[in-house]
Protein backbone atom coordinates (compact mmCIF):
# COMPACT_ATOMS: atom_id res chain seq x y z
CA UNK A 1 0.00 0.00 0.00
CA UNK A 2 1.48 3.38 -1.01
CA UNK A 3 1.63 6.44 1.23
CA UNK A 4 -1.61 7.95 -0.11
CA UNK A 5 -3.48 4.69 0.42
CA UNK A 6 -2.00 4.34 3.90
CA UNK A 7 -3.32 7.82 4.73
CA UNK A 8 -6.82 6.78 3.65
CA UNK A 9 -7.01 3.33 5.21
CA UNK A 10 -4.92 4.02 8.31
CA UNK A 11 -2.92 1.40 10.12
CA UNK A 12 -5.58 -0.32 12.19
CA UNK A 13 -8.85 -2.19 11.84
CA UNK A 14 -11.74 -0.10 13.19
CA UNK A 15 -14.29 -2.90 13.43
CA UNK A 16 -15.78 -3.26 16.90
CA UNK A 17 -16.17 -7.02 16.97
CA UNK A 18 -19.92 -6.75 17.48
CA UNK A 19 -22.11 -9.26 15.70
CA UNK A 20 -25.77 -9.75 14.91
CA UNK A 21 -26.45 -10.80 18.48
CA UNK A 22 -25.80 -7.24 19.61
CA UNK A 23 -28.81 -5.92 17.68
CA UNK A 24 -32.50 -5.71 18.60
CA UNK A 25 -33.52 -7.26 15.29
CA UNK A 26 -30.59 -9.34 14.05
CA UNK A 27 -30.52 -9.90 10.33
CA UNK A 28 -29.71 -13.30 8.88
CA UNK A 29 -31.81 -15.18 11.42
CA UNK A 30 -32.74 -18.84 11.02
CA UNK A 31 -35.83 -17.68 9.14
CA UNK A 32 -33.59 -16.68 6.24
CA UNK A 33 -32.86 -19.61 3.93
CA UNK A 34 -29.44 -21.25 4.30
CA UNK A 35 -28.71 -20.45 0.66
CA UNK A 36 -29.11 -16.70 1.17
CA UNK A 37 -27.69 -16.41 4.68
CA UNK A 38 -24.04 -15.86 3.59
CA UNK A 39 -25.12 -12.87 1.48
CA UNK A 40 -27.04 -11.42 4.42
CA UNK A 41 -24.05 -11.88 6.71
CA UNK A 42 -21.75 -10.18 4.17
CA UNK A 43 -24.12 -7.22 4.05
CA UNK A 44 -24.44 -7.07 7.83
CA UNK A 45 -20.65 -7.19 8.35
CA UNK A 46 -20.17 -4.34 5.89
CA UNK A 47 -22.86 -2.24 7.58
CA UNK A 48 -21.33 -2.88 11.00
CA UNK A 49 -17.85 -1.83 9.86
CA UNK A 50 -18.92 1.44 8.23
CA UNK A 51 -20.95 2.20 11.35
CA UNK A 52 -17.82 1.59 13.43
CA UNK A 53 -15.81 3.89 11.15
CA UNK A 54 -18.11 6.82 11.84
CA UNK A 55 -18.43 6.11 15.57
CA UNK A 56 -14.75 5.62 16.39
CA UNK A 57 -12.93 8.32 18.35
CA UNK A 58 -9.64 7.40 16.63
CA UNK A 59 -10.46 9.31 13.43
CA UNK A 60 -11.48 12.92 12.84
CA UNK A 61 -14.42 13.83 10.59
CA UNK A 62 -12.40 14.15 7.40
CA UNK A 63 -10.56 10.89 8.03
CA UNK A 64 -13.88 9.14 8.57
CA UNK A 65 -15.27 10.50 5.31
CA UNK A 66 -12.09 9.51 3.43
CA UNK A 67 -12.34 5.96 4.83
CA UNK A 68 -16.04 5.76 3.93
CA UNK A 69 -15.31 7.04 0.42
CA UNK A 70 -12.68 4.33 0.06
CA UNK A 71 -15.13 1.65 1.20
CA UNK A 72 -17.63 2.88 -1.39
CA UNK A 73 -14.96 2.73 -4.09
CA UNK A 74 -14.22 -0.89 -3.18
CA UNK A 75 -17.90 -1.85 -3.28
CA UNK A 76 -18.19 -0.30 -6.75
CA UNK A 77 -14.96 -1.91 -7.97
CA UNK A 78 -13.09 1.38 -8.36
CA UNK A 79 -10.19 0.49 -6.05
CA UNK A 80 -8.68 -2.44 -4.19
CA UNK A 81 -8.81 -2.92 -0.45
CA UNK A 82 -5.97 -3.85 1.90
CA UNK A 83 -5.97 -7.38 3.31
CA UNK A 84 -7.62 -6.40 6.58
CA UNK A 85 -10.92 -7.48 8.11
CA UNK A 86 -12.70 -4.13 8.02
CA UNK A 87 -11.72 -3.26 4.44
CA UNK A 88 -12.44 -6.77 3.16
CA UNK A 89 -16.08 -6.47 4.20
CA UNK A 90 -16.47 -4.02 1.29
CA UNK A 91 -14.95 -6.60 -1.06
CA UNK A 92 -17.37 -9.28 0.12
CA UNK A 93 -20.47 -7.10 -0.10
CA UNK A 94 -19.42 -6.01 -3.60
CA UNK A 95 -19.21 -9.67 -4.62
CA UNK A 96 -22.60 -10.37 -3.04
CA UNK A 97 -24.23 -7.54 -4.96
CA UNK A 98 -22.62 -8.66 -8.21
CA UNK A 99 -23.64 -12.31 -7.75
CA UNK A 100 -27.21 -11.65 -6.64
CA UNK A 101 -28.06 -8.64 -8.79
CA UNK A 102 -29.18 -6.65 -5.75
CA UNK A 103 -28.87 -2.89 -6.32
CA UNK A 104 -25.53 -1.40 -5.30
CA UNK A 105 -27.29 1.53 -3.66
CA UNK A 106 -28.50 -0.79 -0.90
CA UNK A 107 -24.88 -0.63 0.26
CA UNK A 108 -23.77 2.81 -0.91
CA UNK A 109 -26.83 4.55 0.54
CA UNK A 110 -25.67 3.43 3.99
CA UNK A 111 -22.43 5.29 3.36
CA UNK A 112 -24.42 8.45 2.55
CA UNK A 113 -25.96 8.27 6.04
CA UNK A 114 -22.67 7.62 7.79
CA UNK A 115 -20.92 10.47 5.98
CA UNK A 116 -23.67 12.64 7.44
CA UNK A 117 -23.05 11.23 10.91
CA UNK A 118 -19.41 12.28 10.58
CA UNK A 119 -20.33 15.97 10.33
CA UNK A 120 -23.89 16.38 11.68
CA UNK A 121 -24.82 15.74 15.30
CA UNK A 122 -28.12 17.62 15.76
CA UNK A 123 -31.51 17.53 14.01
CA UNK A 124 -34.12 20.27 13.68
CA UNK A 125 -37.14 18.59 12.09
CA UNK A 126 -38.89 15.24 11.75
CA UNK A 127 -38.32 15.53 8.01
CA UNK A 128 -34.54 15.72 8.53
CA UNK A 129 -34.72 12.61 10.66
CA UNK A 130 -36.83 10.78 8.07
CA UNK A 131 -34.33 11.71 5.36
CA UNK A 132 -31.52 10.31 7.48
CA UNK A 133 -33.47 7.06 7.95
CA UNK A 134 -33.98 6.88 4.20
CA UNK A 135 -30.27 6.23 3.90
CA UNK A 136 -29.33 4.70 7.26
CA UNK A 137 -32.13 2.13 7.65
CA UNK A 138 -34.38 1.73 4.62
CA UNK A 139 -31.65 0.21 2.41
CA UNK A 140 -31.46 -2.78 4.79
CA UNK A 141 -35.05 -3.77 4.15
CA UNK A 142 -34.70 -3.19 0.43
CA UNK A 143 -31.57 -5.37 0.35
CA UNK A 144 -33.45 -8.27 1.93
CA UNK A 145 -36.45 -7.86 -0.35
CA UNK A 146 -34.34 -7.64 -3.50
CA UNK A 147 -32.29 -10.63 -2.36
CA UNK A 148 -35.51 -12.65 -2.12
CA UNK A 149 -36.73 -11.44 -5.50
CA UNK A 150 -39.70 -9.57 -4.05
CA UNK A 151 -41.76 -7.01 -5.94
CA UNK A 152 -40.67 -3.34 -5.59
CA UNK A 153 -44.25 -2.66 -4.46
CA UNK A 154 -43.11 -3.99 -1.06
CA UNK A 155 -40.59 -1.18 -0.65
CA UNK A 156 -42.89 1.48 0.80
CA UNK A 157 -44.09 -0.73 3.67
CA UNK A 158 -40.53 -1.93 4.23
CA UNK A 159 -39.30 1.66 4.38
CA UNK A 160 -41.94 2.43 7.01
CA UNK A 161 -40.78 -0.52 9.13
CA UNK A 162 -37.09 0.31 8.80
CA UNK A 163 -37.65 3.98 9.65
CA UNK A 164 -39.68 2.94 12.70
CA UNK A 165 -36.88 0.64 13.84
CA UNK A 166 -34.27 3.36 13.36
CA UNK A 167 -36.22 5.92 15.39
CA UNK A 168 -36.79 3.29 18.09
CA UNK A 169 -33.03 2.71 18.17
CA UNK A 170 -32.41 6.46 18.47
CA UNK A 171 -34.74 6.56 21.45
CA UNK A 172 -33.12 3.54 23.08
CA UNK A 173 -29.65 5.06 22.70
CA UNK A 174 -30.50 8.74 23.18
CA UNK A 175 -28.52 9.21 26.38
CA UNK A 176 -25.59 7.03 25.32
CA UNK A 177 -25.33 8.69 21.89
CA UNK A 178 -25.03 12.09 23.53
CA UNK A 179 -22.56 10.93 26.15
CA UNK A 180 -20.21 8.99 23.86
CA UNK A 181 -20.67 10.67 20.46
CA UNK A 182 -22.15 14.11 21.25
CA UNK A 183 -24.92 13.12 18.84
CA UNK A 184 -28.67 13.61 19.31
CA UNK A 185 -31.39 12.72 16.82
CA UNK A 186 -34.27 14.23 18.82
CA UNK A 187 -35.53 17.30 16.91
CA UNK A 188 -34.37 20.39 18.79
CA UNK A 189 -37.59 22.42 18.30
CA UNK A 190 -39.55 19.53 19.82
CA UNK A 191 -37.32 19.73 22.89
CA UNK A 192 -37.67 23.51 23.08
CA UNK A 193 -41.46 23.24 22.82
CA UNK A 194 -41.47 21.04 25.94
CA UNK A 195 -39.06 23.28 27.87
CA UNK A 196 -36.09 20.90 27.80
CA UNK A 197 -32.72 20.75 26.04
CA UNK A 198 -30.36 18.12 24.72
CA UNK A 199 -28.44 18.37 27.99
CA UNK A 200 -31.43 16.99 29.89
CA UNK A 201 -30.42 13.63 28.40
CA UNK A 202 -27.42 13.74 30.75
CA UNK A 203 -29.68 13.43 33.80
CA UNK A 204 -30.08 10.06 35.54
CA UNK A 205 -33.71 9.81 34.40
CA UNK A 206 -36.05 11.45 31.88
CA UNK A 207 -37.78 14.60 33.09
CA UNK A 208 -41.47 15.11 32.10
CA UNK A 209 -40.62 17.32 29.11
CA UNK A 210 -38.37 14.64 27.67
CA UNK A 211 -41.07 12.04 28.21
CA UNK A 212 -43.43 14.18 26.12
CA UNK A 213 -40.85 14.39 23.31
CA UNK A 214 -40.42 10.61 23.43
CA UNK A 215 -44.20 10.19 23.27
CA UNK A 216 -44.45 12.47 20.23
CA UNK A 217 -41.75 10.48 18.43
CA UNK A 218 -43.47 7.24 19.37
CA UNK A 219 -46.69 8.59 17.88
CA UNK A 220 -44.81 8.82 14.57
CA UNK A 221 -43.38 5.33 15.11
CA UNK A 222 -46.87 3.93 15.71
CA UNK A 223 -48.03 5.50 12.46
CA UNK A 224 -45.11 3.92 10.61
CA UNK A 225 -45.80 0.54 12.21
CA UNK A 226 -49.43 0.69 11.07
CA UNK A 227 -48.14 0.99 7.52
CA UNK A 228 -45.52 -1.70 8.11
CA UNK A 229 -48.22 -4.22 9.13
CA UNK A 230 -49.07 -4.46 5.42
CA UNK A 231 -45.59 -5.75 4.54
CA UNK A 232 -45.80 -9.48 5.41
CA UNK A 233 -48.91 -10.13 3.33
CA UNK A 234 -47.16 -8.54 0.31
CA UNK A 235 -44.14 -10.87 0.45
CA UNK A 236 -44.20 -14.05 -1.64
CA UNK A 237 -41.32 -15.97 -0.01
CA UNK A 238 -42.77 -17.80 3.02
CA UNK A 239 -39.65 -17.58 5.17
CA UNK A 240 -39.10 -13.91 4.41
CA UNK A 241 -42.80 -13.28 5.07
CA UNK A 242 -42.43 -14.83 8.51
CA UNK A 243 -39.24 -12.85 9.17
CA UNK A 244 -41.01 -9.59 8.30
CA UNK A 245 -44.02 -10.43 10.46
CA UNK A 246 -41.81 -11.21 13.47
CA UNK A 247 -39.91 -7.95 13.08
CA UNK A 248 -43.11 -5.93 12.75
CA UNK A 249 -44.32 -7.56 15.96
CA UNK A 250 -41.07 -6.80 17.77
CA UNK A 251 -41.11 -3.21 16.55
CA UNK A 252 -44.60 -2.68 17.96
CA UNK A 253 -43.69 -4.34 21.27
CA UNK A 254 -40.52 -2.30 21.74
CA UNK A 255 -42.35 0.92 20.91
CA UNK A 256 -44.90 0.01 23.60
CA UNK A 257 -42.10 -0.62 26.11
CA UNK A 258 -40.60 2.79 25.35
CA UNK A 259 -43.95 4.35 26.25
CA UNK A 260 -43.66 3.17 29.85
CA UNK A 261 -39.93 2.59 30.46
CA UNK A 262 -37.18 5.20 30.67
CA UNK A 263 -34.40 5.02 28.03
CA UNK A 264 -32.43 7.71 29.88
CA UNK A 265 -32.25 5.60 33.04
CA UNK A 266 -31.18 2.49 31.11
CA UNK A 267 -31.50 0.82 27.75
CA UNK A 268 -35.03 -0.41 27.11
CA UNK A 269 -34.91 -3.97 25.78
CA UNK A 270 -37.21 -6.68 24.53
CA UNK A 271 -37.97 -9.54 26.88
CA UNK A 272 -38.03 -13.22 26.03
CA UNK A 273 -41.82 -13.04 26.31
CA UNK A 274 -41.83 -10.25 23.72
CA UNK A 275 -39.90 -12.42 21.28
CA UNK A 276 -42.09 -15.47 21.88
CA UNK A 277 -45.21 -13.35 21.49
CA UNK A 278 -43.97 -11.80 18.23
CA UNK A 279 -43.13 -15.22 16.79
CA UNK A 280 -46.51 -16.63 17.83
CA UNK A 281 -48.28 -13.65 16.32
CA UNK A 282 -46.45 -14.16 13.02
CA UNK A 283 -47.38 -17.82 12.63
CA UNK A 284 -50.52 -16.97 10.68
CA UNK A 285 -48.35 -15.73 7.81
CA UNK A 286 -47.26 -19.30 7.04
CA UNK A 287 -50.73 -20.41 5.97
pLDDT tens digits, 52-77: 999 999 999 999 999 999 999 999 99
**Position 148 confidence tier, pLDDT thresholds 50, 70, 90:** very high
- Outline which parts of the chain fall under CATH 1.10.600.10: 121-287
- Residue 23: the pLDDT is 58
Q: How far is 174 from 196, CA to CA, in rounded Å?
A: 14
Q: Which of 55, 259, 280, 266 has the alpha carbon at shortest distance from 168?
A: 259
Report the CATH number of the 121-287 domain: 1.10.600.10
The DSSP code sequence of 61-83 is HHHHHHHHHHHHHHHTTSS---S
Report DSSP state, residue 195. Answer: T
> What is the per-residue pLDDT across 211-249, written as a single tens digit (0 to 9) for each?
999 999 999 999 999 999 999 999 999 999 999 999 999
Question: What H or E segment, with its residue span, contains residue 252?
Answer: helix 238-260
Amino acid sequence: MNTDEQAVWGSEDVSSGKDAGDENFPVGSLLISRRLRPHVHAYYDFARVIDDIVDTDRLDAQQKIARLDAMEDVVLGRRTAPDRRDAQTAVRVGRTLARTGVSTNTATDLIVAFRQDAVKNRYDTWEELEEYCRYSANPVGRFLLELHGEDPKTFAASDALCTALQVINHLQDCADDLRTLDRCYLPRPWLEREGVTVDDLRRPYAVPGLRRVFAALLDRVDELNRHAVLLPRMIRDRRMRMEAAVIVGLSKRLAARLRVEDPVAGRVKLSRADVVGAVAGAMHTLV
